[in-house]
Amino acid sequence: MDRRVVGTVVRPHGIRGEVAIRIETDDPATRFRPGSRVLWDDRELVIETSRPHGGRQLIRFAGIGDRTAAEGLRDALLTIPAAEARALREEEFWPEQLVGLAVVQGGVVRGEITAVLAAPAHDLLEVALATGGTALVPFVAALTRVTEVGVEVAPLPGLLDT
């Protein structure tokens, strides 16, 4: 089944089974409302309570009633079936569509995207550089463009240097 990531469990919160979620959806109020369902591996989780807290979402799932049970969800990727995700506009991409693409600057392959990190202002592309090390590139139209070859990065000095 094709799925889309909507959040990642960061850690347990408190003693009553809540977990802190790193939000990876553009509509957390809808996606994480009580009664909604998300998938963790092949297990369906039903959201009992949900509230924003410090840039994250605190969620309690049905059947997860204490901190020990919540600890078992640490680092879990929460997904939904792709068919339930909203349609993307032409200039939008799912993070998993970008991971593995070549990063090209000035016609030269400089590395490969290893992750897309959600940040408050804009997403960041984590790039494994061909010369070793990693770099973070703001995924904004002024600096990046997705092409058939990969992601073209503006020739800004220092952007892809370690």
Pick from 95, 76, 97, 72: nearest CA to 7: 76
Where residue 88 falls among pLDDT bands split at 50, 70, 90?
low
* Total structural domains within the chain: 2
CATH of the domain at 16: 2.40.30.60
Q: Which of 146, 104, 107 is nearest to 123 (CA)?
A: 146
pLDDT over 80 (residue 161): no
Q: What is the pLDDT of residue 55?
A: 82
User: Would you give the end-to-end CA distance of the chain in angstroms?
Assistant: 39
pLDDT higher than 70, residue 129: yes
pLDDT value at residue 87: 65
Domain that holds residue 117: 95-153
Question: How much is the mean pLDDT over the chain?
Answer: 86
Select from 58, 84, 110 the last residue of a domain: 84
